[in-house]
Amino acid sequence: MKVARDYIVIGSGLAGLTFALKIAEFGSVALITKDAVEESATRYAQGGIASVMAEDDSVDLHVSDTIEAGRGLCREDVVRCIVREGPARVRELIDLGTRFTRTQGEDAYHLTREGGHSKRRILHADDLTGWEIERTLIDAVRAKSNIEIYPYHMGIDIITRSNIDPAVAPGSREDEALGLYALNEKTGEVLTFTGKAILLATGGAGKVYLYTSNPDTATGDGIALAHRAGARIANMEFFQFHPTCLYHPQAKSFLISEAVRGEGGILRLKNGETFMEKYHSLGCLAPRDVVARAIDYEMKKSGDDCVFLDVTHLEGYRTRERFPNIDKTCKSFGFDMTRQPLPVVPAAHYMCGGVMVDLNGQTNIQRLFASGEVCYSGLHGANRLASNSLLEGLVLSHRAAARVSELRKSSKKLEALQERLPEWDPGDAVESDESVVVSHNWDEIRRLMWNYVGIVRSDKRLYRARRRVEMLLEEIKEYYWSFKITRDTLELRNIALTAQLIINGALLRKESRGLHYNLDYPQPDDTHEVLDTVQQDTAQRLITGSTDARIKS
Ligand SMILES: Cc1cc2nc3c(=O)[nH]c(=O)nc-3n(C[C@H](O)[C@H](O)[C@H](O)COP(=O)(O)OP(=O)(O)OC[C@H]3O[C@@H](n4cnc5c(N)ncnc54)[C@H](O)[C@@H]3O)c2cc1C
């Protein structure tokens, strides 16, 4: 079945919802999301959203903190624009009904501090900031009659002009996004969506790793869809590991926010000794990459399964008041954080690389846009500053909507092309009788990424991982063409490709920088210009970051 709307949005986190809401002023919207509409990384964000709100803060300070964290790879124009436009976008969220926590008895917002920030500038809604934002945006989207939500519909592949027109090379300047195949998970039917523009807002890829703070939806789908469509993917080697996830067999992805350290929490070894002062002058508030590597090193040295985050020296009632959700969840696992240090370990948390976009969310393919965690705009560089990601999604989705609204004149040529789009053809695919293969491959990829492509890497481990992932990709391809598709198989296909892109990025970067640490090149290479690793189709190169630059294989 074909579904024609003016605009197609894939993903219902902050980036997708913000864009849908804004572009709905200009036409009809299909909002496609592979789970319940609320399910996203956004809903789990605890810490908050970084924005210059305080009188003692400034755009320049926020910009320099972001650039410092990004270790030479941030694009200053992008950082400046996102930081400068952030406060206006945050005020829009407030106007829509987002209730950020206020200071007691005062008419001001309570601002918290996280690692790498020189000022208190994180707006939060207790420790459930993401849910408060997600709730507000969903309410606003539901109130728009021209936004149709398609829950439990999974985007499979972008359909481009090069798919139907042999004169157009995939990923070339002439190529454009015409539609999207999406699986209705309830009925098994594959729909063909068409629109004047498509926004990818599919979030991150934490599920590529065995241990992650991310929800199950974070399987790198947008990266894989964009890559298969010929879009350029940049800096995939920079995967942020959050230093402090609760260590407990049942709490597989429960994060202890960095704000806990911001409010005075101290990291300790099992014997009670502190260690962060050996690694960074900011101690426990050092940037995340430094903290995660320090914990990894200390755990490997001692052989312990975890380290501990201690807030027992702080006033218990204040801790409970400031972190009600963390307190409640920890208690449900048997830990009273006000009385005992919490066992914590690092886990994969945030994908800094992604689909290359300009400041309007435009990819190198016409009509294809990306915003939020799926994209690489140049804001984060080699390491994301805490709480800058919600900010990026908010600003970029606003800018993308402004840009896309300029495309609103209907084009007969586009409609004619879209009429030619073939409907999904299942070919000879049959029901799978080997689902065990899928779960086995899932597990193998996540384990090998954790063991060989994790916090500390080496060329030998990376080459080993690459060989294995290439074999798995072949197997998955065979499986994909032989059996009827399910969400599980589609996600497996996407995590395998995302894993390959992370490994390729890591092998291209012959230095250690920010989140990428390779024992064979333990220092940053500052003797050459610092470049992005960019992959498009089968070409891989280090280049100066810009969506306009062309890649030669
Ligand atoms: C536990 C946790 C805490 C965090 N805390 C903070 C914080 O305090 N501050 C901060 O700035 N950032 C934080 N982050 C990061 C931040 O939450 C995310 O980067 C941000 O929410 C991403 O928003 P998004 O809209 O890009 O993606 P998401 O919110 O992840 O939304 C992606 C959407 O796409 C859908 N989707 C995915 N693939 C497909 C497909 N193939 N077809 C259809 N739909 C699809 C998903 O179901 C989901 O609805 C945190 C992340 C986590 C996991």
Nearest CA to ligand 1 atom 10: 387
Q: How far is CA 87 from CA 52, 67, 71, 447, 501, in A?
A: 6, 19, 25, 40, 34
b/e code 179-191 from CB counts within 10 Å (16+ = b): bbbbbbbeeeebb
- The partner residues of 370 in beta bridges, in order of sequence, read 200
- Residue 299, classified by CB atoms within 10 Å of its CB into exposed (0-12), middle (13-18) or buried (19+), is middle
Parallel, antiparallel, or unpaired for β 29-32 and 7-10? parallel
- Residue 357, classified by CB atoms within 10 Å of its CB into exposed (0-12), middle (13-18) or buried (19+), is buried
3-class SS string, 227-269: HHCCCCEECCCCEEEEEEEECCCCCCCCECCCHHHHCCCEEEC
C-alpha–C-alpha distance, residues 451 and 446, integer Å: 9
Rounded to the nearest angstrom, the distance between the alpha carbon of 99 and the centre of ligand 1 is 20
From 8, 9, 12, give the residue whose CB has the most ligand 1 atoms within 8 Å, as the site to mutate. 12
From 19, 33, 122, 357, give the residue whose CB has the most ligand 1 atoms within 8 Å, as the site to mutate. 33
Report the first-to-last Cα separation within the chain, whole angstroms.
38
Q: Of the candidates 548, 551, 504, 403, which has an alpha carbon nearest to the alpha carbon of residue 75?
A: 548
Nearest CA to ligand 1 atom 49: 12
Percent of residues in the chain assigned helix, strand, coil, to nearest 5? 40, 20, 45
Pocket of ligand 1 (CB under 6 A): 10-16, 32-35, 39-42, 44-49, 129-130, 154-155, 201-203, 213-214, 217, 221, 255, 350, 372-374, 387, 389-390, 393
Rounded to the nearest angstrom, the distance between the alpha carbon of 521 and the centre of ligand 1 is 32
Rounded to the nearest angstrom, the distance between the alpha carbon of 15 and the centre of ligand 1 is 8
Ligand 1 atom nearest the C-alpha of 389 is: 11
Rounded to the nearest angstrom, the distance between the alpha carbon of 375 and the centre of ligand 1 is 12
Ligand 1 atom nearest the C-alpha of 39 is: 49
Q: How far is CA 213 from CA 89, 247, 257, 269, 510, in A?
A: 27, 11, 11, 22, 28
The alpha carbon of residue 112 and the mean position of all alpha carbons in its chain are separated, in whole angstroms, by 22
Ligand 1 atom nearest the C-alpha of 156 is: 41
pTM summary value:
0.93
C-alpha–C-alpha distance, residues 533 and 530, integer Å: 10
Structure tokens at 432: 């799978």
Q: Of the candidates 295, 97, 318, 303, which has an alpha carbon nearest to the alpha carbon of residue 211?
A: 295
* Eight-state DSSP code of residue 519: T
C-alpha–C-alpha distance, residues 141 and 550, integer Å: 37
Backbone angles phi, psi at 537, to 5 degrees: 55, -120
Give average pLDDT by consecutive 10-residue segment, the chain, 553 residues: 96 98 97 98 93 94 95 96 98 96 83 87 92 98 98 97 92 93 96 97 96 95 97 97 88 84 94 96 88 90 92 92 92 94 95 97 97 98 94 98 84 88 85 83 93 94 96 92 91 97 96 95 92 84 54 41
Instruction: Number of helices (H) and strands (E) in the chain: give both, helices first.
Output: 15, 21
Ligand 1 atom nearest the C-alpha of 490 is: 41
b/e code 219-249 from CB counts within 10 Å (16+ = b): bbbbbbbbbbbbbbbbbbbbbbbbbbbbbbe
Is 288 part of the annotated catalytic residue set? yes
- The partner residues of 268 in beta bridges, in order of sequence, read 274, 308
For the beta carbon of residue 300, count every other beta carbon within 10 angstroms. 11
From 10, 17, 42, give the residue whose CB has the most ligand 1 atoms within 8 Å, as the site to mutate. 42
Those residues with Cβ within 8 angstroms of residue 490's Cβ, 6 or more apart along the chain or in another chain: 154, 156, 183, 221
**Identified catalytic residue from 232, 288, 466, 493:** 288
29-51 confidence digits (pLDDT tens): 999 999 999 999 999 998 899 99
Give CA angle at 234 (52, 542), nearest 5°.
120
C-alpha–C-alpha distance, residues 481 and 487, integer Å: 14
The pLDDT of residue 137:
98
* Eight-state DSSP code of residue 423: P
C-alpha–C-alpha distance, residues 33 and 153, integer Å: 5
**What single-letter amino acid sits at 27?**
G
C-alpha–C-alpha distance, residues 462 and 508, integer Å: 11
**What single-letter amino acid sits at 421?**
L
Structure tokens at 255: 């994060």
From 217, 257, 323, give the residue whose CB has the most ligand 1 atoms within 8 Å, as the site to mutate. 217
Length of the chain: 553
Rounded to the nearest angstrom, the distance between the alpha carbon of 13 and the centre of ligand 1 is 6
C-alpha–C-alpha distance, residues 500 and 448, integer Å: 11
Nearest CA to ligand 1 atom 11: 387
Cβ(139)–Cβ(147) below 8 Å: no
Rounded to the nearest angstrom, the distance between the alpha carbon of 426 and the centre of ligand 1 is 31
C-alpha–C-alpha distance, residues 484 and 354, integer Å: 29
Q: Of the candidates 215, 230, 217, which has an alpha carbon nearest to the alpha carbon of residue 157?
A: 230
Instruction: Count how many Cα atoms sit within 13 Å of the Cα of residue 275 in the half-sphere of its side chain.
Output: 22
Q: Token match 């200390």: residue?
A: 298
C-alpha–C-alpha distance, residues 363 and 370, integer Å: 7
Q: Of the candidates 548, 549, 547, 469, which has an alpha carbon nearest to the alpha carbon of residue 505?
A: 469
Q: How far is CA 320 from CA 17, 126, 310, 311, in A?
A: 31, 10, 14, 11
Ligand 1 atom nearest the C-alpha of 35 is: 47
Rounded to the nearest angstrom, the distance between the alpha carbon of 23 and the centre of ligand 1 is 20
Structure tokens at 49: 């959203």
The pLDDT of residue 427:
79
The pLDDT of residue 465:
97
Structure tokens at 454: 């994790």
